[in-house]
Amino acid sequence: SFQESAPKTWPKAKLTPNARVILEKRYLKQENGKVIETPEDMFYRVANVIAEVEERYGKGKKEVKELAKEFYAMMANLEFMPNSPTLMNAGRDLGQLSACFVLPIEDSMEKIFDAIKFAAIIHKSGGGTGFSFSRLRSKNSTVRSTGGVASGPVSFMKVFNAATEAVKQGGTRRGANMGILRVDHPDIQEFISCKEDNKEITNFNISVGITEEFMKAVKERRDYDLIDPHTGKAVGKLSAPEVFHTIVDHAWRNGEPGIVFLDRLNRDNPTPKIGEIEATNPCGEQPLLPNEACNLGSINLKLLVTEKNGKAVVNWERLSYVTRQAIHFLDNVIDANTYPLPMIEEMVKGNRKVGLGVMGFADMMILLQTSYASEDAVEYAEKIMNFIQTEARLESQRLAEERGTFPNYEGSIYDGVRKLRNATLTTIAPTGTISMICGASSGVEPLFAVAYTKTVMDGTAFVEVNPIFENYAKEYGFDSSELMRKIADKGTVLGFSEVPDWVQAVFVTAQEIDPEWHIRIQAAFQKYTDNAVSKTINFANSATREDIAKAYELAYELNCKGLTVYRDGSRDEQVLSAGTSQ
């Protein structure tokens, strides 16, 4: 219904060469192995499909066109980017636009294999799936119809894993899974150690679903009950401090399992009458009800710094505009989306959850000449996310006035408080690929390195020197190719006497930052995020188990919804690696 090429007079996308390579590989339309779409055409395709939704709400062609132009500009300027499936699939055959799904697993052979089939359909379209295995009966309990014994959650996870492996080859991107088991499930110990061998269950991230009762038992150094998922009755006991220690020990060894605070996810469940939250999407930032999906989008904070009286400051005015347009965009995505299953469509359209977040936070701190590991950065994090959440709610309220509240509004936590179009508005995604498209630091993570090698899915490696660092080097007179090479080898600028102290402080990297600051930044964003925050807490290789235990306790204290830790060098294959030597 629209021409395929972006009008020549519309702004061009200022993409880095790396961003172009990524887009050409997997995002742009291809025919017989040849790319037949420019990045501008892609943004135009997406903007049109999402803006056309207006017609369903009584808007005319002219308004659609104007809105499409605004959506286009936001993307082409790299100020806002929807999650990858929206870029890849809008206006094309798949039409599946969401990154995150949670599927229920009921305790029967039919339901278990239904979930595997549904996951395969979702993976094919570029979505990731999260599951709770907590409803499955434990290993060695009886199977009434056959008189045999059950093989338990972990054995079924291996089947899900194998199915994902097979689908992976044909999909638009690797199918990712999250597996969650409640800490009071009788098979919890087997679950905690199920990824001990790095080569097992590779298509899953795993997290232990921690309860308040468990945390209390850890503190009081006592046993807690294991609960039979069928009868709800206690069937055994474990020492809470010991289980806590086992989780810490495994996370210390190779970063898994993570933890998620289940009771907290449900404390913030906006629609408790519709269901209980048992799981999150693969990277943990999006808690969802069974059969629910969510589409994400992220604002590029790197581009929201401006100059006032010769000083770099946050561009609040532009941030307000981009936030509102982004929420409008994400709400439209819900209607433009093609859903892989009817029950998912029903659930999504009932709650209309969206997840707007940020990328380029570390870049923004650098531009504001603020160290990520500082009170000032924590303050910025809170202020920025508070602002985004406030503006997002205003826009959702405006949309509710125009289009009605989300259908499950009645009985929701907003009922009688505030009319909103969307049950949730904010989520901090990892932005693994879209941050590369935007040339920004990912999500709310600090810089991984000032210069680094990044290996993407198909094995292509990129060498990158932080462009802001290059600019500073020119501006402050320490730009030498010899120095750049040394920094690239080391990955960090700490200790290079040629680099002024304040530049060293501002370019602090993930592993140099004390875990406490990592967690405080995560907590600061969480405070104003409806859903959760994707964040990895980096530790030096020399970190001890006690350091990890302390981090868990701090995350709990500061109201985080979960925690993922990673100790440098603890896995053979790292996605990111400091320096260019690898």
- Taking CB atoms, the residue at the shortest distance from ligand UDP is 128
The correct pick among 48, 83, 466, 577 for binding ligand UDP (CB under 6 A) is 83
Q: How far is the CB of 552 from ligand UDP (least distance, A)?
A: 21
- How long, in residues, is the chain? 582
- In the block, tokens 């406030």 appear at 390
Cα–Cα dist 464/485, whole Å: 11
Q: Answer whether 517's CB lies under 8 Å from 536's CB.
A: no
173 binds ligand UDP (CB under 6 A): yes
| Helix, strand or coil, per DSSP, at residue 467 | helix
Site string for ligand UDP, 265-304 (x = CB under 6 A): ----------------xxx---------------------
From the list 281, 276, 284, the residue with the least C-alpha distance to 258 is 284
Which two three-digit tokens encode residue 95? 């039409």
> Binding-site residue total for ligand UDP (CB under 6 A)?
18
- The interface mask with ligand UDP, positions 470-499, x = CB under 6 A, is ------------------------------
Residue 49 or 215: the one with the smaller Cβ distance to ligand UDP is: 49
How many whole angstroms separate alpha carbon 303 and alpha carbon 386? 18
Q: Give the x/- contact pattern for ligand UDP in 24-43, rule: CB under 6 A.
A: --------------------
Task: Note whether 430 binds ligand UDP by CB under 6 A.
Answer: yes
Applying CB under 6 A, among 38, 48, 84, 351 the residue interacting with ligand UDP is 84
Give which of 488, 516, 479, 468 is closest to 360, Cα–Cα.
468
Nearer to ligand UDP, 83 or 300 (CB): 83
Q: Which residue has the tokens 């996951």?
A: 119
Specify whether the CB–CB gap between 317 and 173 falls below 8 A.
no
Q: Which residue number, 76 or 533, has a Cβ lying nearer to ligand UDP?
A: 533
By the 8 A CB rule, do 112 and 152 touch? no
Which residue of 152, 257, 432, 439 would you call a contact of ligand UDP, by CB under 6 A?
432
Report how far residue 351's alpha carbon sits from residue 294's, in angstroms, rounded to the nearest whole number. Answer: 10
Question: Cβ 88 to ligand UDP, closest distance in Å?
Answer: 9
Beta bridge partners of 268: none
Regarding 427 and contact with ligand UDP (CB under 6 A), the answer is: no
* Smallest distance, ligand UDP to C-beta of residue 220, A: 35
- Is 554 a binding residue for ligand UDP by CB under 6 A? The answer is no
Residues with Cβ within 8 Å of residue 444, at least 6 apart in sequence: 358, 361, 362, 381, 428, 521, 522, 525, 533, 535
By the rule CB under 6 A, 367 interacts with ligand UDP: no
Closest approach, Cβ 434 to ligand UDP, in A, equals 4
Which residues are part of the catalytic machinery?
A: 281, 283, 285
**Minimum CB distance to ligand UDP smaller for 178 or for 226:** 178
Give just the sign of the alpha carbon dihedral 389, 390, 393, 395.
Answer: negative
Instruction: Determine if the peptide bond prior to 257 is cis (ω within 30°).
Output: yes
Q: Does 174 bind ligand UDP (CB under 6 A)?
A: yes
**Residues at the contact surface with ligand UDP, assessed by CB under 6 A:** 83-84, 99-100, 127-128, 173-174, 176, 281-283, 429-434
